[in-house]
Homo-oligomer: A and B are copies of this chain.
Amino acid sequence: MTVTLADVAARARVSPATVSRVLNGNYPVAAATRERVMRAVDELDYVPNGPASSLAAATSDLVGILVNDIADPFFGIMAGAAQGAIGAPGAGRAGGEKLAVVCNTGGDPERELTYLTLLQRQRAAAVILTGSPVEDPGYRAAVTAKLARLGEAGTRVVLCGRPPLDGAAATTLAFDNRTGARRLAEHLLELGHRRIGYVAGPADRTTTRHRLEGHRAALAAAGVAEGPVAHGGYDRASGHAAVARLLAEDPGLTAVVAANDTVALGVCAALRERGLGIPDDVSVAGFDDLPFSVDAAPALTTVRLPLHEAGARAGRLALGTEDPAADGPVTIPAELVVRNSTAAPRS
């Protein structure tokens, strides 16, 4: 029923080996023969059997991209860019093409491990891990081990927007969250803010810690006391809910820094509900600079992370198209973007 390589060979009156060779294009074949084979392929509408070739070649053309939340553009942008870089080269006909595929872990370490196992089972050509991992020794050991195993099996591993993991043979592209957060805090400080609330991400993630550290460093350098901190998720509801807690701790807050732009939106909404104007009564800042941030009212002051560029680079790294930096992990800078949601505090 389904047409196999042997069928093509018969139709083209060559051996299966020859068909394999023209399809994979990594072996000299006479032009005339190739032509004949190609015709047969088209006439028969032949589609190679992936599992069979993966089995025989001991490697597949699958590239997995793990994300924490597929409904969050933060990940969507990186994943899309990576897929673009991977799918783009779009080699020849039936062969070549890699299947770049994104897997949604929901931020759950267990699901992440499950996906890694699944990808390992598929003998994936590469795996890209994006987003902040949880800081848990057990989890850390488990991923490290799993990544090591993947590496041994020939799967290329790249960490994108995630801190380096020593012990794992992974190429890494980390965001400079610490510096970004520091710049943002400095900006607020320069405007004159002294009572700054902070809506942080989940307490157990590296990104949360790094951003908080940068924020505190700026405060400490300026000799300003730290304001209230409320932890929550990366969704707007968390930001919305956090406002009450922040204000309870310090009703005189003049600025709020959010874990990311989405959270900032929730913060803005909650502030407005209380009759507070932005930035007249309270300044608000986000992080990431997602596309919608410029359209918020007022436009959000935030820290831009080159998500697209990082994703594309991760894709090339996964493909082996780009060589990893010889000198270890690459740190991608974050850039302060000042817009209208921050201003000097009411005097």
**Whole-angstrom CA separation of A83 from B100 in the bound complex:** 16
Contact A102 B102 (CB under 8 A): yes
Does A44 count as interface, using CB distance less than 8 angstroms?
A: no
Contact A87 B111 (CB under 8 A): yes
Provide the bound-state CA to CA distance between A138 and B271, in Å: 52
Contact of A104 among B51, B102, B235, B294 (CB under 8 A): B102
The answer to whether A70 and B60 touch across the interface, beta carbons within 8 angstroms, is: no
Contact partner, A73, options B72, B79, B123, B266, Cβ 8 Å: B72
Stoichiometry, copies per complex: 2
Please count how many residues in chain A sit with their CB below 8 Å of the partner chain's CB atoms: 65
Interface string of A47-70 (1 = CB under 8 A from B): 111111111000011101000011
Nearest residue (CB) in B for A53 is: B51
Max chain B Cβ within 10 angstroms of own Cβ: one of A45, A87, A268: A87
Q: Cβ of A295 < 8 Å from any Cβ of B?
A: yes
Complex CA gap A109/B40 in Å reads 25
Asked whether, in the complex, the Cβ of A153 is within 8 Å of the Cβ of B2, the reply is yes
| A252 close to B (CB within 8 Å) | no
A window 56-111: CB within 8 A of B: 60-62, 64, 69-73, 76-77, 79-80, 83-84, 87, 90, 94, 97, 99-104, 106, 111
CA distance A64 to B100 in the complex (A): 11
A116 to B185, CA, bound (A): 48
- Which residues of the partner chain B approach A100 to less than 8 Å between Cβ atoms? 103-104
CA distance A84 to B71 in the complex (A): 12
Which residues of chain B are near A121, meaning CB under 8 Å?
47-50, 94
Taking a contact as CB atoms under 8 Å apart, the answer to whether B60 and A69 are in contact is no
Q: What's the Cα separation between A149 and B47 when bound, in Å?
A: 10
Query: Is A114 interfacial (CB 8 A cutoff)?
Result: yes
Whether A122 is near chain B, meaning CB under 8 Å from some CB there, is: yes
| Contact residues in B for A79 (Cβ distance below 8 Å) | 70-71, 104
Whether A297 and B295, one on each chain, are in contact in the complex, defined by CB atoms closer than 8 angstroms, is no
- Assess whether B118 is in contact with A99, with CB atoms less than 8 Å apart: yes
- Measured CB to CB, the nearest residue on chain B to A299 is B269
Confirm or deny: A139 has a beta carbon within 8 angstroms of a beta carbon on chain B: no
Q: Would you give the 0/1 interface string for A274-292, flagging 1 where the beta carbon is closer than 8 Å to chain B?
A: 0000000000000000011
Q: Which residue of B lies closest to A272 (CB)?
A: B297
Q: Report yes or no: B153 in contact with A295, Cβ–Cβ below 8 A.
A: no
**Residues from chain B with Cβ under 8 Å of A106 in the complex:** 80, 84
- A265: CB under 8 A from chain B? yes
Contact of A122 among B50, B120, B291 (CB under 8 A): B50
* Docked complex Cα distance between A273 and B158 (Å): 42
Q: Is the CB of A295 within 8 A of B2?
A: no
CA distance A152 to B106 in the complex (A): 33
The B-contacting residues of A in range 31-53, CB under 8 angstroms, are 45, 47-53
Known: A97-B118, A295-B268. Contact between A51 and B55, CB under 8 A? Answer: yes
A-B contact pairs, 12 of them (CB 8 A): A47-B120, A49-B123, A50-B121, A51-B51, A70-B102, A71-B79, A79-B104, A80-B106, A87-B114, A94-B121, A236-B295, A262-B292
For the A-B complex with A62-B122, A87-B114 known, give 17 more contacts whose Cβ atoms are closer than 8 Å.
A47-B117, A50-B118, A51-B60, A71-B80, A71-B291, A73-B76, A76-B76, A83-B103, A97-B114, A99-B122, A102-B102, A236-B291, A262-B292, A268-B295, A268-B297, A269-B294, A292-B292
